[in-house]
Amino acid sequence: MSNDPIPAATLVVFRDRPGCAPELLLVERAKAMAFAGGALVFPGGRIDPGDHAVVASPADAAARVAAIRETIEEAGLAIGCNPVPSADQVAAIRARLHGGEAFADILIDEGIALDLECLVPFARWLPAHAHMRIFDTAFYLACAPTGAIAIVDATENVRLTWSTAADVLADADAGKVTIIYPTRRNLERLALFSCFDEAVAQARAHPVTIITPFAAERDGAMHLCIPEGLGYPVTSEVMTAALRG
């Protein structure tokens, strides 16, 4: 197996609620999936060659396009589309994507342009596993379209949920759901925010830096760590706990 990093993109979709913590969209991957099988993750996936053909700029345009495309495929939510497509249009776009049609061609047929600026860069994770698939993943923040209803794709994923970051972390600690190390660290960071605008402000205050977890001995035990100063409230976890899934 080649260990070259696979370019990927993920979208953290917020649903603000007055007076309450915002809900985030997560999907549960089918247990049979090779990567993160059975885990709750944010919608996303690898950057396809066709994603480069949709929009030429900014420099990370292909990653932003991939995040939008994957969110349509996995959750039936059209983020950053102008004009906003109807529910029937979204269903048709999703069906065509599942059928293997090029996203660029679909957008032209539907008369839709993409507003990539509505995606806010949040993080970039590049693990350094020795014997497993490696994804170089760009994380973006976005707001859910008003009134849109998310529907799981029921292929790669088996269900979706709108949950607060704190609730997902609590469920993971209770053994009710599975989350992988990058998801846990990002949820801890996302739990700091009472609304989308707070998350955007913190993201813009911490320019995206590639995060590669590393092992280090701390207090007599091996920890899996990430660098300090990138906006994450937790940067170290005992190795046995970090790898529990």
The whole-number pLDDT of residue 197 equals 97
pLDDT above 70 for 30 = yes
Q: Which fold has domain 6-206?
A: Nucleoside Triphosphate Pyrophosphohydrolase (3.90.79)
The average pLDDT across 148-152 equals: 87
pLDDT above 90 for 61 = yes
As a whole number of angstroms, the distance between CA 18 and CA 13 comes to 16
The whole-number pLDDT of residue 238 equals 93
Mean pLDDT of the chain: 92
**Ranges of each domain in the chain:** 6-206
- What would the pLDDT profile of 81-139 be if each residue is shown by its tens digit? 999 999 999 999 999 999 999 999 999 999 999 999 999 999 999 998 765 778 999 99
The whole-number pLDDT of residue 171 equals 96
The whole-number pLDDT of residue 37 equals 62
As a whole number of angstroms, the distance between CA 94 and CA 71 comes to 10
The whole-number pLDDT of residue 33 equals 58
pTM for this entry? 0.94
CB burial of residue 213 (10 Å; 0-12, 13-18, 19+)? buried
pLDDT above 60 for 2 = no
pLDDT above 90 for 31 = no
Checking 107-111 for CB contacts under 8 A at 24+ apart, the result is: 107/54, 110/85, 111/83
- In sequence order, the 6+-apart residues with CB closer than 8 A to the CB of 59 are none
Nearest to 212 by CA among 147, 136, 139, 120: 136
Number of H helices, E strands in the chain: 7, 13
The whole-number pLDDT of residue 219 equals 86
